[in-house]
Structure 1
């Protein structure tokens, strides 16, 4: 997995995808978008990968869209703009829908599309100096492709404020609003990420995948008979699976399950 604008590394069952354009604050262009989409789709197929860390080199996490890319888009036709925007939407979907949990290592500021990357991740740890901004409205744009993920993370009320005002907000606010799960000092960032990744990797790989999907599928649904039946079917299927049987047996026999290595 060799890329021009990303670094992909592996340690045990954890893959780390690192944005590597520090000279432009890790802003993304069409190449970065294509590479991120490809990386997450490839990692989705790898049985040896149980968790993915999304990180960035340099002082910023991601500044959103690259200015040169935005200049190019200004000359696009309506159809070309639609196709280009769909590529960005597909990238965010690839991150959100990858079957492995994604842990965002937010080591610096995240603006515009960078907030989308954060919101599409499952678990977010941010350095306490990081700032966030949904800055699109300042440029006469809207945060459309990132909206499904940001609104799920921030909620409707906060999204209405920050989409329309384009005010930056600090890490404490991001934590309070639910965009970020943990805020740490810079020297504790890596150890916190390692702790969370380790917790993910000791659990049943199938159970982790199905748990992620469960939350995505159940959130926002009406609590009706269809949902009740759906959840009953899910747990019945997992109980009867090889991993489910092994997990229960290992617990009763007071031994480590087979997936821990």
Structure 2
């Protein structure tokens, strides 16, 4: 599955989430399909929430449906009987990091970079963090959130956000596929279900994440930061 919003740098909007879930529906109906590969194009994997779409939401409840849809998509990655592999070649920002963190396996090229930019606008990567912390532990996720600095591909591998690096990601995809063929889809489902039970992510945590991002996006300061950037390409510290 290839993210195809090149003009928006593969930013996440309601339509992208809807079509991604439709594609997952189709894959789950196909008994011959056991692996789904997510990828971007032209040096961009995914750059997070579409800020222009976020500006249309005037209150917390208005944004909730899209936030819930994104949160459910991450949960689906972590619970479906399909193996989700993120094949990254280039830039990954904000919600795109969430797609990687919730995937079962992540392969990246050496030129890839990973960053959480939300704090620049006065936001938090609230929905990304449960899955990112599950992958990397607390401090790497906290540092990415606080500094907004990008991790190189090698740094991302060292904190376990990325499983392997390769100039030709298909080589690792082939290796993984050969091993994964020995595991039945029902067993994959059992593995994911058990790891969720013993892991840190709960339904209550997911609800809290949706409520927090929905609240922050409607704050006047945050809306002003985003509006200035969209209109003038001016970052908050350059007001």
TM-score (norm 1): 0.71
Work out whether residues 39 and 86 of structure 2, in 8 Å CA contact, stay in contact via their aligned partners in 1: yes
Which residue number corresponds to residue 142 of structure 1? 124
Deviation at 1:29, TM superposition (A): 1.1
Post-superposition Cα deviations, 1:113-163, rounded to whole Å, max 9, x if no partner, equal 000000010000001110000110011111111221111112111112111
Higher relative contact order (CA 8 A, sep 6+): 2
RMSD value, Cα = 1.9
Work out whether residues 127 and 189 of structure 1, in 8 Å CA contact, stay in contact via their aligned partners in 2: yes
Q: CA–CA distance in 2 between the matches of 1:124 and 1:30?
A: 24
Partner SS state of residue 97, structure 1: coil
Q: CA–CA distance in 1 between the matches of 2:129 and 2:90?
A: 21
Selected match of 2:38 from 27, 33, 54: 54
Q: Can you give the 5+ residue segments of structure 1 that lack an aligned partner in the other structure?
A: 1-16, 222-261
Which residue number corresponds to residue 197 of structure 1? 177
The answer on 1:207 being equivalent to 2:187 is: yes
Q: CA–CA distance in 1 between the matches of 2:25 and 2:131?
A: 18
The answer on 1:159 being equivalent to 2:141 is: yes
Work out whether residues 79 and 189 of structure 2, in 8 Å CA contact, stay in contact via their aligned partners in 1: no
Deviation at 1:43, TM superposition (A): 2.5
How many aligned residue pairs are there?
201
Which residue number corresponds to residue 240 of structure 1? none
Selected match of 2:96 from 94, 101, 114: 114
Work out whether residues 119 and 153 of structure 1, in 8 Å CA contact, stay in contact via their aligned partners in 2: yes
Structure 2 vs 1, CA of residues 212 and 24 (structure 1 numbering), >3 Å: closer, same or farther?
A: same
